[in-house]
């Protein structure tokens, strides 16, 4: 998992800067994307971490990551503060406080790799916005974080983290195996980019819709329909981001048609649920982050 690109830092005047370093994920498909991030001298702000089909694992290399289900919670006494973030699949935005300076490594983890890499099924992370990483990975995770902080180069950090995850995957039998029907169901939804039907999916894996939904939710924490919507939104959001990064206005009607939405209004509905904003309002809020490269690798907290 070595670095493949360093995005150009975005500077505000002479003091502020942002850096995103992308690494090629290790083989096996468990880690979908890996991004190192660092910012300095920025005006403190509140960021929306969007739902996606992937779990989130963040090792902060600076202060704790502060989150909440609402802006008031994220900025108030009930905020969740942790140095290592583990986030399950969720259906609404998480609000993340962006301080004046921050740094970390963020991984997007495939839900069906949760048993191997995290030691539990993804469903056990459902219901909570985030979980302290030491509660999931054990106290050794705190040592891993300290070793990551001691490294000077992103390449060394990614190599060390890759070795740690490989050791965990080698001991994967401790958390049991994913049922093959669930694995094939997820792969079928991914091939259809979330546009397939539950009837077609259940026929493909030779289970009733009710039985498949129960097994799927017990493993991932979401139903097949919810997973399909997350996948479809992920592809639609990526198309919006690409258009904005290229300096063009997103054609939402075409994006909706190309990404399997019934119509434009259904895409707008998903944006409103998953971001709390209309597509145009979300683009306006995130434009600078998009141009800085903060939405380019499958990671959806976009530190």
Q: How many CA atoms lie within 13 A of 290 on its CB side?
A: 18
Report which DSSP code applies to 181: H
55 and 158 share one domain? yes
Which mean pLDDT values do the consecutive 10-residue runs of the chain (303 residues) have? 46 67 88 94 89 97 96 96 97 94 96 95 93 96 98 96 92 80 97 94 97 98 97 94 88 92 92 93 79 54 37
Structural domain span for residue 237: 226-290
Regarding whether 53 and 38 lie in a shared domain, the answer is yes
256, HSE (Cβ side, Cα atoms, 13 Å): 15
pTM above 0.75, yes or no: yes
Domain count within the chain: 3
**Residues 122 and 253 occupy one common structural domain:** no
Domain containing 57 — which CATH number? 2.60.120.10
Tell me the residue ranges of DSSP E strands in the chain. Answer: 3-6, 17-23, 31-40, 45-49, 55-60, 65-68, 80-82, 84-87, 94-98, 102-109, 131-132
> In this structure, what token pair is assigned to residue 270?
């998903």
Establish if 295 belongs to a structural domain.
Answer: no
- Judge if 58 and 135 occupy the same domain: yes
């Amino acid at each position: 998992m070595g670095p493949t690109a360093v995005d150009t830092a975005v500077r505000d005047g002479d003091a502020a800067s942002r850096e995103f370093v992308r690494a090629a994920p290790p083989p096996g498909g468990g880690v979908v994307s890996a991004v190192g991030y660092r910012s300095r001298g920025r005006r403190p702000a509140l960021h929306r971490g969007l739902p996606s089909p992937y779990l989130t694992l963040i090792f902060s290399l600076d202060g704790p990551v502060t989150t909440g289900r609402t802006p008031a919670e994220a900025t108030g006494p009930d905020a969740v503060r942790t140095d290592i973030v583990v986030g399950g699949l969720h259906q609404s935005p998480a609000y993340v406080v962006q301080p004046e300076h921050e740094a970390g490594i963020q991984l997007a983890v495939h839900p069906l790799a949760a048993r191997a890499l995290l030691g539990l099924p993804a469903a056990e992370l459902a219901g909570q916005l985030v979980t302290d990483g030491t509660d999931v990975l054990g106290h050794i995770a705190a040592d891993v974080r300290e070793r990551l902080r001691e490294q000077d180069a992103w390449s060394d950090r990614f190599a060390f983290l890759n070795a740690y995850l490989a050791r965990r995957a080698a001991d994967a039998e401790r958390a049991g195996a994913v049922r093959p029907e669930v694995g094939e169901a997820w792969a079928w939804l991914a091939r259809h980019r979330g546009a397939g039907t539950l009837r077609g999916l259940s026929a493909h894996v030779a289970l009733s819709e009710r039985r498949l939904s129960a097994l799927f939710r017990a493993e991932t924490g979401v139903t097949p329909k919810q997973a399909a919507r997350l996948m479809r939104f992920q592809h639609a959001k990526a198309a919006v981001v690409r258009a904005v990064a290229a300096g063009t206005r997103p054609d939402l009607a075409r994006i909706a048609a190309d990404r399997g939405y019934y119509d434009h209004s259904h895409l707008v509905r998903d944006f409103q649920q998953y971001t709390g904003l209309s597509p145009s309002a979300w683009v306006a809020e995130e434009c600078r982050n998009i141009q800085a490269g903060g939405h380019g690798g499958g990671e959806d907290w976009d530190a």
